[in-house]
């Protein structure tokens, strides 16, 4: 927009604000992230996501919690 904010199109059911260079978006009940240019980081596959912080975001798939980095790589962590 006129203030320099990027807007993403209506192809997403829900969209959060950009944090740490990525925005969480929901498509058909699954979450992923978009880059500032609006391109998807990965296909929508996450049941839940947290916003990025320090280059990582917590994600949940099928009850497994892990982290995704800003390039889309994931590291699964064992549940406590």
Q: Tell me how far apart the alpha carbons of residues 78 and 48 are, in angstroms, rounded to a whole number.
A: 17
Name the helix (H) or strand (E) containing 61.
Answer: strand 56-61
Reported as a single tens digit per residue, the pLDDT across 2-58 is 566 666 556 889 999 999 999 999 999 999 999 988 899 999 999 999 999 989 999
| Integer angstrom CA distances of residue 60 from 18, 27, 37, 39, 78 | 19, 15, 25, 21, 12
Q: Tell me how far apart the alpha carbons of residues 41 and 48 are, in angstroms, rounded to a whole number.
A: 15
**Residue 65: CA count within 13 A, CB half-sphere:** 6
pTM: 0.81
pLDDT of residue 64: 87
């Amino acid at each position: 927009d006129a203030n320099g904010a990027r807007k993403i199109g209506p192809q997403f059911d829900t969209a959060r604000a950009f944090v740490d260079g990525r925005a969480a978006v929901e498509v058909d009940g699954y979450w992923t992230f978009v880059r500032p240019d609006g391109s998807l980081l990965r296909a929508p596959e996450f049941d839940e996501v947290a916003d990025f912080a320090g280059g990582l975001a917590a994600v949940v798939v099928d009850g497994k919690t892990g982290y995704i980095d800003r390039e889309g790589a994931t590291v699964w962590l064992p549940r406590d």
